[in-house]
Chains A and B, each alone.
Chain A
Amino acid sequence: MELLEIRNLSAGVEGKPILKNLSLSLKAGEVHAIMGPNGGGKSTLAQVLAGRSEYEVTGGSVLFNGADLLALKPEERARAGVFLAFQYPVEIPGVNSTYFLRAALNECRKARGEAELDPGAFLKLVRQKSKILELDPALLNRSVNEGFSGGEKKRNEIFQMAVLEPRLAILDETDSGLDIDALQAVAAGVNKLRRPDNATLVITHYQRLLNYIVPDFVHVLMEGQIVKSGGKELALALEERGYDWILEETAAAPAGARS
């Protein structure tokens, strides 16, 4: 069965359509990359899947594990196993990172019918996971993302993902603003978290990240639609040739002709 099945999804913000009849499916165990120029709808797709209310869904459906994802509140999606690594993680002064993450994990565990973790057990888990991400544990004594560098914020996103163990991880431009060392660390973290029962959707503007997180499928999202899909070699072609040739190709062949 498909883990995520997006069918003819249309969505916009403030009456402006952005996603237009977008369809995409992911199976458990797969890594999909979505690439495309700015303004094509990549981040909108991520936000719609996470449940941000500013984005209005005007058509289509999204099934997650066979259930209607769009009917769920953002927190219910998270508890069901959807995780969005933010492009711009939010700083929350006054909210301790450890407290926040334990609250989040226990909500997810409760939803899965598992017992809540006490502070001691949680601390053990945190130590183990922070090693995977090579994240300085001292950061977790601070307020959520407050005063973190760009790289620390992105690493913290993946660290949260490691703790919450989602079925579907959506990485929204996780590579933006990272130097090569941070990029490798983040990618290594993501790779260590890959399992046969979870899937990853990597949204990126550049091919660079895909050298480290190797996708099974690459999709090109332009003007609100997936205009081309292929294997990892498609990312290299995009890196080399840009996006214009795809537009020409799709103009020549009507959308319905693609499979």
Chain B
Amino acid sequence: MTTALDPSKGQARPRASWPAAAASGNGDAGPARAGLSMGEVLAAFEKGDSAPGPVWLKLRRQAALARAAAVGFPTTHDEEWRFTRVTPVLKLPLHPADAALRRLTREEIAPFTFGLDCWRLVFVDGHFCRELSSLPTPGGELEAGSLRAGLAGGAPELERHLTCCASDQANVFTALNTAFFQDGALLRVAAGKVVERPAHLLFISTRTEAGATAHVRNLIVAGPGSEMKVLETYASLGDGQTFTNAVTELVIGEEARLDHCKIQEEGRRAIHIAAIAAQQGRKSQWTSHSVSTGAQLARHQIQTLFQGEGGHCLLNGLFLAHGEQRVDHHTVVDHAQPRCESHEFYHGVLSGRAHGVFNGKIFVRQDAQKTNAKQTNRNLLLSEEAVIDTKPQLEIFADDVKCTHGATVGQIDEEAIFYLRSRGIGLERARQIMVRAFASDVVERIPLEPVRAHLNQMLTERFKD
């Protein structure tokens, strides 16, 4: 097993250093990959705490494990991973993160709560922490608790919903998650109920030993005609080389309305790979907000499938990366049904030697007439060495549709900078104001005011220089 290397070095330019003779296919071994093989990774997690769950789940876990073993880790020859190498993950001595060594206090988690008045489920290194959480009374409009408890207590319809939105076939990290997840959040809103108070799922990494891994699994079920807001945030206490592999599944019933906001602010040496997968019923509305600022490597797969007519989704995203950070968003909107609308806005701000990726897929199936799909990706490069790969990918099989996409890459408007300076505002502050303005469209769409305030504060501090 290779010991962990300094992740800040060595992996910044994959395309330049990838040998032409690199193994393809499952790519499980080969000259280009120094690090763990899939076999070693599977062994590392099988040794750990046995994965909880009833028989139906055990069968799915086995299938997922077999899938992972068969396909191995992706290489940059894999179209889905063309711009992002997974090598930094495999260089870590991966192992399951134990339950917290010590209890966190409310004071310690306070900086991660944004002062938001909400129901809150707190997970420390992937393990549910009841004492720090505040849950609604069982039997109310919102059922909230740990997935582990839900599985043990035989919560209804888990068999139907769990593992049904996110695909083990399409994403090997999702397969690993299915095989090995220990816990996560389970939220359910009954049909027709409107939950005013948002639910906050807070995941904190605290481990200091390299390779400590949390496979987090969340399931959110919005009953027909229901409404709720969910905030899902990831943060680190300390600077450990942790690995978070999170999967969130959203089952959005007919005419339901779900606002989902994810903020990834893990430590600078952490690795974060995540999937958010939704299935939307007829006339449902989903808004997805994804803000990614942390981790040395962050990869987000965000997808929705319109299962009924007249659905609506908003995919709103902001990613910031500096230094040697890499951040990758892959989004998929599957217009499988007619008369659905999707609006997508992703803004990226990259500085230093950071590398960003935006890949936006839109499928319009043959029957999906009257589809209205719009995608925009705007990127701001603050240094000459920062890189963005942006790729719209539209596959349209219906003829009566409206689909637009656009991507831009640019620098800060120097005219505007001079204008600000000519009024007495210093260069650094002027740049900070311009970055904040660039991000503001995305931030302003987020429906939770304390989260917006937090992000504005973060933007101010991050670009203070």
Contact = CB atoms under 8 A, between A and B. Distances in A.
A75 B437 contact: no
B421 A90 contact: no
B440 A94 contact: yes
Query: Which of B418, B427, B440, B441 has the most chain A CB atoms inside 10 A of its CB?
Result: B418
Interface in B406-465: 413, 415-416, 418-427, 429-430, 433-434, 436-438, 440-441
B419 A78 contact: no
Contact of A73 (B413, B419, B420, B427): B427
A51 B419 contact: no
Contacts of B413: 90, 92
Interface stretch (A100-108, A212-220, A232-240): A100-108
Chain A residues touching B, range:
20 to 34
B445 to A, nearest CB: 13
Contacts of A107: 423-426, 429
A79 interface: yes
Contact of A164 (B416, B418, B423, B429): B423
A101 B416 CA distance: 14
Interface in A70-86: 73-75, 77-79, 83-84, 86
A52 B418 contact: yes
A175 to B, nearest CB: 20
B421 A73 contact: yes
Contact of B424 (A93, A108, A144): A108
B423 A78 contact: yes
A171 B106 CA distance: 57
B430 to A, nearest CB: 8
B433 A100 contact: yes
A60 interface: no
Contacts of B434: 92, 95
Interface in A37-89: 50-52, 73-75, 77-79, 83-84, 86, 89
A125 interface: no
Contacts of A160: 423
A60 B415 CA distance: 26
A108 B425 CA distance: 8
B416 to A, nearest CB: 5
Interface in A140-184: 143-144, 160, 164
B382 to A, nearest CB: 16
Contacts of B437: 92-95, 143
Q: Give the dominant DSSP class at B's interface.
A: helix
B429 A103 contact: yes
B433 A103 contact: yes
A41 B254 CA distance: 67
Contact of A79 (B424, B429, B430, B436): B424
A100 B420 contact: yes
Given A73-B427, A94-B438, A94-B440, A78 B421 contact: yes
Interface string A194-216: 00000000000000000000000
Contacts of B424: 75, 78-79, 104-105, 107-108, 111, 164
Contacts of A79: 424
Nearest to B435: A94
Contacts of A101: 423
Contacts of B419: 86, 89-90, 92, 144
A105 B423 CA distance: 8
B425 A104 contact: yes
Contacts of A83: 422-423
Query: Which of A89, A94, A111 has the most chain B CB atoms inside 10 A of its CB?
Result: A94
Interface string B212-255: 00000000000000000000000000000000000000000000
Nearest to A81: B424
Given A73-B427, A94-B441, A100-B433, A50 B416 contact: no
A93 B439 CA distance: 11
A108 B422 CA distance: 11
Query: Which of A52, A79, A83, A103 has the most chain B CB atoms inside 10 A of its CB?
Result: A103
A86 B438 CA distance: 23
A143 B415 CA distance: 15
A4 B260 CA distance: 59
B422 A50 contact: yes
Contacts of A86: 419, 422
Contacts of A108: 424
A144 B430 CA distance: 13
Interface in A100-154: 100-101, 103-105, 107-108, 111, 143-144
Nearest to A145: B419
Query: Which of B416, B429, B434, B438 has the most chain A CB atoms inside 10 A of its CB?
Result: B416
Contact of B418 (A74, A95, A104, A144): A74
A174 B421 CA distance: 20
A160 B425 CA distance: 13
Contacts of A94: 436-438, 440-441
A73 B429 CA distance: 14
Nearest to A52: B418
Given A52-B418, A95-B436, 16 more contacts: A50-B422, A75-B425, A78-B424, A90-B413, A92-B413, A92-B434, A94-B436, A94-B437, A94-B441, A95-B420, A95-B433, A103-B429, A103-B433, A107-B425, A107-B426, A108-B424
- Top 7 nearest A-B pairs (CB, nearest first) are A94-B437, A104-B423, A78-B424, A107-B424, A74-B421, A90-B419, A75-B421
16 contacts: A52-B418, A73-B427, A75-B421, A90-B413, A90-B415, A90-B419, A92-B420, A92-B434, A93-B437, A94-B441, A100-B420, A104-B423, A104-B425, A107-B424, A111-B424, A160-B423
Interface of B: 413, 415-416, 418-427, 429-430, 433-434, 436-438, 440-441
